[in-house]
Structure 1
Amino acid sequence: MPLGRTRRAARTVDYWPGFVDALSTMLLVIIFLLSVFMLAQFFLSRQVTGKDTALTKLNRQVDELTSLLALERAGKQTAQTSLASLTATLDAAQKDKVRLQGLIDSTNAQASGAGGAAAAASAALDQEKQVSARAASQIDILNQQIAALRRQLGAIEDALAASETKDKDSQARIADLGSRLNVALAQKVQELARYRSDFFGRLRQILGDRPGIRVVGDRFVFQSEVLFDSGQAAVNPAGHAELDQLASAVITLEREIPPEIGWVLRVDGHTDQKPIKSAQFPSNWELSSARAIAVVEYLAGKGVDPHRLVAAGFGEFQPLDGTTGDEAMRRNRRIELKLTER
C-alpha cells in the first residue's frame, strides 16, 4: 500500500507554472495593445488639432479678403461716378468750344464784308473783334480744361483697370480659400460621420433588437410607448432603463470625440395625426416638444453635457407613414435621436 501511494504521487503533474506563464503572456499582450491604442489616439488628436488650426486660419483669411474686396468695390463705384461727372463736363466744354468757334467765324466773316463801311461800322467791327478775342481766350482756357479733363479721365481709367485686375485676383484668392475651406469642412463632416457610425453601432450592441427600438437612416428611433404612457410627457419607469443605457453611451462618446469638433445630440419628438387637446397639451406641438425636453432633461440629469443636447418638437407634421391605420400611427409616435453638427 505505501508503494502504490508513492507511485500515484509521482504521476501528479504541477500545472500551476504553466498557468502563470500563460497569464503573464496575456497580460503583456494586453499592455502592448493598450500602448498602441493610446499612441494612435495621441497622433489622431494632434492631426485633428492641426486641421482645426488651419481651418481657423482659412476663415480669417476669407474674412480679410472679403473686407478688401468690399473696399475695392466701393472705390470702383466712386471712380465710376467721377468718370461720369467728368465726361458730362467734357461734353459741355466741347459744346461751348463749338459755339464760341462759330461766333468767331461769324465775326470774322462780318469783318471781311465790312471793309468799305463808314466809321460807325468800323467801331462795331472793333467791338466784334474784342468779343472775338475774348472768345478765343475762353477757347484756349477750355482747351486747357479739356486737356486736364482728358488726363484725369486717363488716370481714372488706369485706376479702374488696376482695380478690376485686383478685384479679379481677390476673387480668385477667395475662391481658392473657399475651396480649401470646403475641403476642411468636409474632413470635419467625415470625422463626425465616423463617430456617428461608432455611436449607433454601440447603441445597437447595448439595446439589441428590442421591440420599439430601431435605426431609420441616420437616426436612432424609440417608439413613444417605450418611454411614455399614452398622452403623457413624463418618462415612465420602463423608459428609465433604456435612457440610462443611452446616457452611458453618450457620455462615452463625449470622451472620444475631440473637443474642437462641434456636435450635438438632437432629440426630436413626433406624434401621430390624431389631435390632442387638453389643459396640459393644447396641441400635438406641445406634446411632442414636452416629450423631447423630458428626454433631454433626463439625459442631462444622468451626466450628459447639456451643451451637447438639443430638443425639438415636430408634432404630427413629419410622419414616417402617411397612411391612417393603427400600425402607421404607432410608427409615427416616436422619439428620434440624431448625432449632428452644431
Structure 2
Amino acid sequence: MTSLARRRRGIDFWPGFVDALSSLLMVLVFMLLIFTIGQFVLSDALSGRDRALAQLNAELAQLAKTLSMEQDAKAVAMKQVDELSATLATASGERDALRLSLDTTQAALTQAQARGEEDQAQIARLSSDISALDELKRQLEAEIAAQLGALDEEREKLAAQTELSAKSAAQVELLNRQVAALRLQLEEIAASLDLARAQGKAKDVRIEELGKELNLALAQRVNELQRYRSDFFGKLREVLGGRSDIQIVGDRFVVPSELLFASGTDELTPVARQQLDSLATTLSEVASEIPSDVDWVLRIDGHTDRRPIATGRFPSNWELSSARAIAIVKYLVTRGVPANRLSANGFGEFRPLDPGDNEAAYAINRRIEIQLTNR
C-alpha cells in the first residue's frame, strides 16, 4: 500500500531545485559583492594614483621653477664672476702700477736725499763764506773808517796850510781813489752777501720740500703695510675659524695664554702648535705679496696677570712672558718664517688690559699679542 501510494505521488524534485537555486543566488550575490569591493578598491587606487600623479606634476613644476631660478642665479653668478675677474685684473694692474710708482718714488726720494745732503754741504759752505765775508766786511769798514779818519786829518792839515803842494794834492787824489775803490769793493761784498743769503733761503725751502716728500713717502709706506696687515688679519681670522676667544684689538691679535701654554710654563701645547702652523702658513702667503723694500716684522708680545711667580726657571713674570714669546718665535722659525722678520718681547704684568683684581681680569691679562708692524 505504501509503495503504491508512492508511485501515485511521483518523485518530488522541487525542494532540491529550490536549494540549488538558493545556492546559485548566494554565489551570485557573493560574486557581486566581490566585484563591488574590487571596483571600490580599484577606484580608490586609481584616485590615489591620480592624486599622486597630480602631486608629482606639482613637484615637477616646482622643480622646473627651481631649476629656472637656479639657472638665472647661475647666470647672475657667472656675470658677477666675470665682473670680479675684470675687477681683479684691473686691481692687479693698478697694484703693479702702484708698485712701479712706489719704486720710482723711492728712487726719486733717494736722489732727493742725496741732493738734500749736497745742498746741506753747500749751505754749510755758503754759511762759512758768509761768515768770512762778514768778517772781511768788518775789516774793510774798520780800514775805511781809519782811512777816512786819516783823510780828514790830512784835509785839516792841508786846509790849515796856506799853500798846497803838488805832492800833497797827489796824495789827496790817491786817497780819494783808494776810498772810492774801497767803497766799490764794499758794495760788491754786500751784494755777494745778499746773494749768498738768498741762495741759503732757497736751499732751506728746498730742504723743507724734500722733508715733506720724505714724510709723504713714509706715510705711503705705512698705509701700504696697513693694507697687508689687514689682509694678514683677515686670512688669519678665516684660518682660525672666527674663534670668539681670539680678538683683534687695534692692530694686534690677542690670544689667551691658556690656548697656547699650560699654567706657569712656556711649553707649547699640541693645539698651540696647530694654531701656529696656520699662522706660519698665512704669514708666508702675505709675506710673498709684501714688496722687499718694505721693512716689516711680526712682533710677538708676552703678557701675564699681576699674581707673582717665583720658580727656579721663572724668578718673575718678566721671565715667564719673555720665555713664552721666545718659544713662539722659535717655533715659527722651524716652520719657515725668516728669523729677521720676528721679534719677541716680554712685558710681564705691567701692561694689563683690565686693571681689576679678580679671576676674570687675570684671564684677560694673560695673553699673547701678535702684531704685523714696521721695524
Which TM-score band (shorter chain)?
0.7 to 0.9
Matches within 5 A, 1:93-242: 93-95=144-146, 97-98=148-149, 101-102=152-153, 105=156, 109=160, 137=171, 146-210=179-243, 212-242=245-275
Cα distance between partner residues in 1 of 2:349 and 2:228? 30
Q: Tell me whether 179-188 or 201-210 shows the greater mean CA deviation.
A: 179-188
Cα distance between partner residues in 2 of 1:197 and 1:71? 44
Task: Give 1 or 2 for the bigger CA radius of gyration.
Answer: 2
Normalising by structure 1, we get a TM-score of 0.73
Q: Counterpart of 2:121?
A: 70
SS in 2 for 1:170: helix
Cα distance between partner residues in 2 of 1:162 and 1:251? 57
Instruction: For 1:47, give the aligned amino acid.
Output: L
- Structure 1 residues 143 and 233: CA distance shift in structure 2, 3 A: farther
What are the superposed Cα offsets for residues 279-303 of structure 1, whole Å, 9 maximum, x if unpaired? 3333333322222121111111112
Cα distance between partner residues in 2 of 1:210 and 1:242? 12
Q: CA deviation at 1:188?
A: 2.7
- Structure 1 residues 97 and 152: CA distance shift in structure 2, 3 A: closer
- Structure 1 residues 108 and 148: CA distance shift in structure 2, 3 A: closer
Q: CA deviation at 1:82?
A: 3.2
Instruction: For 2:296, give the aligned amino acid.
Output: W
Q: CA deviation at 1:219?
A: 0.6
Cα distance between partner residues in 2 of 1:50 and 1:108? 80
Q: CA deviation at 1:316?
A: 2.4
Q: Counterpart of 1:302?
A: 335
8 A Cα contact 1:212 1:226, kept in partner: no
Q: Gapped runs of 5+ residues in structure 1?
A: 1-21, 113-128
Normalising by structure 2, we get a TM-score of 0.67
8 A Cα contact 2:133 2:193, kept in partner: no
Counterpart check, 1:84 vs 2:152: no
Q: Counterpart of 1:281?
A: 314
Cα distance between partner residues in 2 of 1:155 and 1:104? 28
Counterpart check, 1:244 vs 2:295: no
Instruction: For 2:112, give the aligned amino acid.
Output: Q
SS in 2 for 1:70: helix
SS in 2 for 1:281: coil
8 A Cα contact 2:246 2:254, kept in partner: yes
Q: Tell me whether 318-327 or 144-153 shows the greater mean CA deviation.
A: 144-153
Cα distance between partner residues in 1 of 2:158 and 2:83? 110
Identity score, percent = 40
What are the superposed Cα offsets for residues 1-38 of structure 1, whole Å, 9 maximum, x if unpaired? xxxxxxxxxxxxxxxxxxxxx9xx99x99997997556
- Structure 1 residues 339 and 142: CA distance shift in structure 2, 3 A: farther
Q: Counterpart of 2:96?
A: 45
Cα distance between partner residues in 2 of 1:47 and 1:334? 38
Q: CA deviation at 1:337?
A: 0.8
- Structure 1 residues 259 and 87: CA distance shift in structure 2, 3 A: closer
Q: CA deviation at 1:135?
A: 12
- Structure 1 residues 333 and 96: CA distance shift in structure 2, 3 A: same
Q: CA deviation at 1:336?
A: 0.6
SS in 1 for 2:288: helix
Q: Counterpart of 1:253?
A: 286
Cα distance between partner residues in 2 of 1:223 and 1:308? 23
SS in 2 for 1:215: strand
Q: CA deviation at 1:341?
A: 1.8
- Structure 1 residues 279 and 86: CA distance shift in structure 2, 3 A: same
Q: CA deviation at 1:222?
A: 0.9
Q: Counterpart of 1:123?
A: none
8 A Cα contact 1:214 1:222, kept in partner: yes
> How many matched pairs?
301
| Structure with more relative contact order (C-alpha pairs < 8 Å, separation 6 or more) | 1
Q: Counterpart of 2:296?
A: 263
